[in-house]
Amino acid sequence: MITKRSSRLFARAQRVLPGGVDSPVRAFKSVGASPLFIRRASGARIEDVDGNTFIDYVMSWGPLIHGHAPRGLVNALATAAKDGTSFGAPSPLEVELGERVRKLMPSLERVRFVSSGTEAAMSAVRVARAATGRDRILKFEGCYHGHADPFLVKAGSGALTFGTPTSPGVTRGTSADTLVASYNDLHSVQRVFDTHRDQIAAVIVEPIAGNMGLVPPADGFLRGLSDICRNAGTLLIFDEVISGFRAAAGGAQFLYGVRPDLTCLGKIIGGGLPVGAYGGRADLMELVSPAGPVYQAGTLSGNPLAMTAGLWSLNQLSPTLYKSLAALGARLAGGLADAARDAGVDLQVNALGSLLTPFFTDQPVRDFASATSANTGRYAAFFRGMLARGVYPPPAQFEAWFISGAHRVKDIDLTIRAARAAMREVG
């Protein structure tokens, strides 16, 4: 595989961008490689600047549930752009998208659009603190809620990959207000509440963890979390930036029948454009300025192009799509497991619908500790082997793979064949 142009671009990038990238995982450091620079994408495939093409399982880290550059979305964006790319004023599009989100996810009685998942999470916590009069929040080891200071305490995703769960620059005071429990362990949650019961404003959780790799909730975990919060007068925040509209049209809260007080959204509601949102109970969201005293603002919030992309993307969701994605996900998960078994490689594959993660470990993965028992060196070798065979998986062990409506059975089968060869090189 020729990568001369990507290598030259990376050298240039390192002279102008920190680490040569605009988000850490893109640097490929944890997989012992140099990043590929992508110039175009279509359907389930991406093409780099050297002309190499790959079946893509990153899919912009989740929002592209319909694949890259679907014609309908491109046409909708072209039409919207002719009317203006940013207004800094209300538009009908944000009203339409807000109504669509609320219909699919009824717990969001009021919704505020922002420009990223990080912004959504930090704003939701601010609302929770204002509503309860309490300062502390509880999060879970390995769950990632963006790069705002309160969340960079035992965080997942890039922070986990790069070994900096608590980032320099986060003050001791901020860290002290963030309490940590173990995902899928209600006893650890109860212990924290026993010590800090009247101090916790909110529990924030990925209802389906996707930033230590994919880790679904254990039976009863989310329901138990809701009960603990209700009994303590604490608000429950679901960070559905990944799971929202991915796991189901109504998100994880629909799948598991648990209604949070507040929800954070992102990814799919922008159809691949930068967007986020937070929302929930009307009485809580009425605290947000200008309806109430909790200040939050954003010049690009409700951007017409992002709203257009979100409307198009959500309007294309259907039971048929989710059924197809689940079948493809199960086929790929089974194929990866078989490839590892035949090569004598320890592998656990966690899968849910269109999301999956192969963990190079012989232990079931259900929390932070078991996720981090995975052999990252083996994943790195596997990644390089897949890339050499035309498959682009996430460049880190602790990330979810994403399947789109543009993937076909033949793509999955090509991926499984590549995995069989790559597994033999893992060692």
Q: Known catalytic residues?
A: 144, 239, 267
Q: How far apart, in Å, are the Cα atoms of 423 and each of 9, 56, 113, 237, 382? A: 30, 19, 43, 39, 6
The answer to whether the beta carbons of residues 210 and 400 sit under 8 Å apart is yes
The alpha carbon of 10 is separated from its chain's Cα centroid by a whole number of angstroms, namely: 26
| Rounded Cα–Cα distance for residues 161 and 323 (Å) | 32
- Edge-to-edge strand ranges of the sheet holding 235-239: 110-114, 276-280, 262-265, 235-239, 200-205, 136-140, 178-181
Residue 59 DSSP symbol: G
> What distance in Å separates the CA atoms of residue 207 and residue 303, rounded to the nearest whole number?
28
Amino acid at 283: D
How many angstroms separate the CA atoms of 312 and 64, rounded?
12
The neighbour count for residue 79, using CB atoms within 10 Å, is 10
- Are 393 and 383 a contacting pair, CB within 8 Å? yes
Nearest CA-CA partner of 157 in 139, 174, 167, 142: 142
Distance CA 25, CA 36 (A): 12
